[in-house]
Structure 1
């Protein structure tokens, strides 16, 4: 069963990032339908997303926000890992939310799907216990990354956890070359922070504590890492 809320939000004062168009999955809207297949095949999705669910460790009292939920794969895995946890999937792209709805229905579970921007989350202060994001932050320019991290901090309760899975500073030259297609598809300015290993720095600057990289792996498209922190 899907609980869906599509709320309109006015930009916060001084938030120029809110007005910027998001970069769609694979960089072009026409390629969105290929997203699931590419992630599953090229990035060994089952292996690292299974590890990500373990790190998130859904519990009965959790309210878990999947920021940039895309087609719902991770949100569904989180709900299946703990049926009594509340899972909220947020994404700005209706072309992603449509298949997410279908997948949730097919799985026979309840996920709260909402259309919204990462830098203007449709959630109240302190309303979540965990915020997770998977392959989303490299789509954002740096000012939007900073705004999204401040929003994640705002909606988390004290002691709440942030877990990001995204591209990281390459292991070596081979991983640097593998990352080039990501930069070409998603844009060089917004993917540069990940390339330079700045994501943990930005998380720390948003006010989070205990920022640590807990997992790294080589993939066909570059080095993938988990960054975790506490509010």
Structure 2
């Protein structure tokens, strides 16, 4: 009998490696894209300008495009011979394609619209009078944003961040297209599950990876909901 059947709660070396890589990729994807997401959400929520609809469409385009298309576009743009990838390689010696850093970029691009959307909704539901009151007391725009706007939008910020993190954990199509399937480097949890499902006799390994993916995603969603409710109670209290 396969010894893995006797240790359902123990991660194998392959599973542990895939989980660690997925967590690292997701953390970098969300933390790297959060400042830009805040800026985009603020612009979309608080500013009116020609081309705003176009900007909104571009930001949300990865949400409706097939992930494989996103990965292929990243490969064309950031590959070694791509217009941006060539500059990164020749100027900084940085290569994103077929690396875990590239996997983080792919996850960030795919999860970015979810993060922007959550932040924008939070900004649009804030009472502008609170910010106006802070400005009348002499607070500058940056201080108003840091001391009034940001704390009030904390539930949406936390919820959107965790939702984007969960989406990054589950990213497959853009990842495998842009950075391929390299063990220990780009084989995240979804890619490892795909590999196991395509391997003869890998049904049990695929099932275990599937359960792991479901558990991680479920924990992330519960954390998002719980933290959002806690912060809303604190703010309303």
TM-score normalized with structure 1 length:
0.23
Q: Which has the larger radius of gyration?
A: 2
Bigger RCO of structures 1 and 2 (CA < 8 A, at least 6 apart): 2
Higher strand share: 1
Higher helix share: 2
